[in-house]
Amino acid sequence: MSEPLIQLQGICKSFGDTRIYHDLNLDIFPGETLVIMGGSGSGKSTLLRVLMGQLKIDAGNVLIRGRTLDEMNRGELDSWRKSVGVLFQSGALFNSMTLRENLALPVREHTDLDDETIDLMVQIYLQLVGLREHIDKLPAELSGGMKKRGGLARALMMQPRILFYDEPTAGLDPVSTAQIDELIMNLKNKMGATSVVVTHDMQSAFKLADRLALLFDGKFAAVGSVEEFRTTTNPLVRQFVDGRLEGPFVNPSDQCSYKAQLLGRKINEVPHGQKTT
Amino acid sequence: MRAAIEFVGDFFYLLLDTLRAIMPALSNGRGRVLAWRNIWMQMNRIGVESIPIVCLVMFCIGAILAMQIAPELARFGIVPVTADVVALATFREMGPLVSAVVMTGFGGAAIAAEIGTMVVGEEIEAMEAMAIDPIRFLVVPRVLAGMVMMVCLTVLGDLAAMFGGLVASALLLHLGALQYVHHALAILKVGDFLTGLVKAGVFGVLITAIACFLGLKVRGGAEGVGLNTSKTVVFTIVALIVVDLIFTSVFFYLGV
Ligand SMILES: Nc1ncnc2c1ncn2[C@@H]1O[C@H](COP(=O)(O)OP(=O)(O)O)[C@@H](O)[C@H]1O
Ligand SMILES: [Mg+2]
């Protein structure tokens, strides 16, 4: 295989007493689509923040094309960020700006293109996500799914070759979901984009992924191809993929802590020695 | 205590970052037009709303000062000196301070709430992820606009207070308008006017920077926005008074 584009090496991170990652390792290769799965609150969104250099980690290294993220200077970090398009969980459109202004902003800030060209680009990308008739609306006037598609269009404006999607289809109707999936596939096939997709949607995950990774208890519990995930006997993966109730996967923040609370005991004395909050 | 020191330290870091970002924000080729347009927008938003309130409040303060002082001065038979006192108190102290308090209520609270909401909506993160520096893009225009508008507001407020004092003097103290103006102009030195304006500029920076700082520090949803918005108003007023005290003592020692 080629050189990895992004390498995560032994990442550890806690917020106060809450340990999010301990010893997280993963390589992401150019041109692949990596789907990251994991329970709510397992640190998927936080991981994207780490990859963008927006959050200090406690230990470990993030390498971008072999270069440590921590050691990058302002300019290097900026050019890394410019080369990545990020779709945030909520879309993260600027609420004080119309869709048009939202999309134009990054291009205005970072290039010397004239206003007409930028406006043309805005229209093209809005057309691509099916929002062109809403071009002059404020985000408050759009539905959740439309905001997400707007956020996607904005992420594409700088023509990034690397894309991070945080739950791109969560909360969307099946048709919109299929549209977004199609779009992600096209970006990969036509532009050879490298994508990291965080999703709960098994169907999308299997459709999009070259590889899948399951984040559990601060580590990647399983990393493998679609085939491997379909056929594995790993109980954790099975439970997650099949969406079953019983299994090793417990939502860390509910079951254990409430048991502990009810029993008035310390959390780490909870049965099956599960380390949680 | 430790938390308080950290808090103030963090705030100074923000101020430093802001200073550092001012030149690039205004001079680098492409962002320049946007930056100036942004400052203009913020000046409108932060300052213009406050104008009528500042004028009203300062008019009343001028009148109040005149009425409070006149009886005392009358005992010595120097009622016309009322104008001197109103003028000095206004230009050196009340003008900048009261304008600043009004701007804190309007501009400061609005900025904190706005930026706090942006934090909650992942907007700041999105901005960073697009390699747009929130300090340069959000903080610098607000701080510059705050500085300029504070100076403008103070000039207007000073005039309104002088007018308030004049009306009260004319109606209640039988002090002629001409005599009042004459006295006021005679006592005021350029230094009085300038120290007031320097203070005003610093207050403007303080108000907007604290608001931006607490806005960026918002955590945890709408509740956090509300909390930091009210914190902004309280902290800013305390900071204004403390800085005012420092300025006044420095001016006192320097004799200006
Ligand atoms: N800035 C922060 N400060 C404190 N805790 C945080 C912060 N960001 C995230 N967390 C916590 O980290 C955990 C993982 O969050 P997140 O990455 O958003 O999860 P998800 O996998 O659902 O996207 C959550 O328990 C969250 O409360
Ligand atoms: Mg998330």
pLDDT, tens digit (0-9, with 9 covering 90-100), for A197-255? 998 888 888 989 999 999 988 889 889 998 888 888 888 888 888 877 766 666 545 55
Ligand 1 pocket: which of A14, A17, A20 to mutate (most atoms within 8 A of CB): A20
Which residues 120-159 of B are in CB contact (within 8 Å) with A?
Answer: 121-123, 125-132, 137
From the list B34, B117, B129, which residue is nearest A52 (CB)?
Answer: B129
Counting every residue, how long is chain A?
277
Are A165 and A37 in contact, with CB atoms under 8 Å apart? no
pLDDT at A90 over 90: no
A154 in contact with ligand 1, CB cutoff 6 A: no
Annotate chain B with three-state secondary structure.
Answer: CHHHHHHHHHHHHHHHHHHHHHHHHHHCCCHHHHHHHHHHHHHHHHHHCHHHHHHHHHHHHHHHHHHHHHHHHHHCCCCCHHHHHHHHHHHHHHHHHHHHHHHHHHHHHHHHHHHHHHHHCCHHHHHHHCCCCHHHHHHHHHHHHHHHHHHHHHHHHHHHHHHHHHHHHHHHHCCCHHHHHHHHHHHCCHHHHHHHHHHHHHHHHHHHHHHHHHHHCCCCHHHHHHHHHHHHHHHHHHHHHHHHHHHHHHHHHHCC
Question: Considering Cα of B8, then B9, then B10, then B13, what sign does the dihedral take?
Answer: positive
**Amino acid, res. A188:** K
Q: What is the pLDDT of residue B241?
A: 96
pLDDT at A166 over 80: yes
Ligand positioned closest to the Cα atom of B119: 1
Q: CA of B211 to nearest chain A CA: how many angstroms apart?
A: 18
Q: What is the pLDDT of residue B176?
A: 84
Q: What is the pLDDT of residue A1?
A: 59
Cα(B49)–Cα(B118) distance, integer angstroms:
22
Q: What is the pLDDT of residue B33?
A: 62
Chain A CB within 8 Å of residue B4 CB: no
Are B52 and B99 in contact, with CB atoms under 8 Å apart? no
Count CB-CB contacts under 10 A for residue B18. Answer: 22
**Cα angle, residue A255 at apex, residues A253 and A256 outer, rounded to 5°:** 80
Task: State the average pLDDT for chain B.
Answer: 90
From the list A79, A88, A111, which residue is nearest B126 (CB)?
Answer: A88
pTM of this prediction?
0.85
Question: Considering Cα of B200, then B205, then B210, then B211, what sign does the dihedral take?
Answer: positive
Per-residue pLDDT band for A144 (boundaries 50, 70, 90) equals confident
Condensed to tens digits (0 to 9), the pLDDT of residues A62-72 reads 999 989 998 99
Per-residue pLDDT band for A172 (boundaries 50, 70, 90) equals confident
Predicted complex: ipTM over 0.90:
no
A46 in contact with ligand 1, CB cutoff 6 A: yes
- Cβ-defined contacts of B213-217 (< 8 Å, 24+): B213/B10, B213/B11, B213/B14, B214/B112, B214/B116, B215/B111, B215/B112, B215/B113, B215/B114, B215/B115, B215/B116, B215/B118, B215/B119, B216/B14, B216/B115, B216/B116, B216/B119, B216/B124, B216/B134
The CA-atom distances, in angstroms, between A238 and each of A196, A214, A256 are 22, 11, 21
Q: Which residues of A touch B132 (CB under 8 A)?
A: 105-106, 109
Domain residue spans in chain A?
Answer: 6-83+160-276, 97-159
Condensed to tens digits (0 to 9), the pLDDT of residues A15-72 reads 988 899 988 999 999 999 999 998 888 899 999 999 999 999 999 999 999 899 989 9
Are A229 and A212 in contact, with CB atoms under 8 Å apart? yes
Give the right CATH number for A6-83+160-276 from 3.40.50.300, 2.40.30.170, 2.30.33.40, 1.10.1520.10: 3.40.50.300
| Strands, sheet with A84-87, edge to edge from the N-terminal-most edge strand | A84-87, A162-166, A194-198, A33-38, A211-216, A219-225
Rounded-to-10 torsion of CA A68, A70, A76, A81: 100
**Amino acid, res. A52:** M
Q: What is the pLDDT of residue A276?
A: 43
Chain A CB within 8 Å of residue B29 CB: yes
The phi, psi pair for B83, rounded to 5°, reads: -60, -40
Ligand 1 pocket: which of A35, A37, A40, A46 to mutate (most atoms within 8 A of CB): A46
Sites in chain B below the pLDDT cut of 70: 27-34
Cα(B64)–Cα(B62) distance, integer angstroms:
5
- Cβ-defined contacts of A203-208 (< 8 Å, 24+): A204/A169, A204/A177, A205/A35, A205/A37, A206/A230, A207/A181, A208/A33, A208/A35, A208/A181, A208/A184
A158 in contact with ligand 1, CB cutoff 6 A: no
Cα(A68)–Cα(A55) distance, integer angstroms:
14
The residue whose CA is least distant from atom 27 of ligand 1 is: A41
**Cα angle, residue B134 at apex, residues B131 and B139 outer, rounded to 5°:** 155
Q: Which atom of ligand 1 is nearest to the CA of A47?
A: 17
Cα(B28)–Cα(B84) distance, integer angstroms:
48
A42 in contact with ligand 1, CB cutoff 6 A: yes
C-alpha A45 to ligand 1 mean position (Å): 7
Q: What is the pLDDT of residue A179?
A: 85
C-alpha A41 to ligand 1 mean position (Å): 6
The CA-atom distances, in angstroms, between A43 and each of A14, A50, A256 are 10, 10, 18
Give me the mean pLDDT over the A176-181 stretch. 86
B102: tokens are 């009004």
The residue whose CA is least distant from atom 18 of ligand 1 is: A45
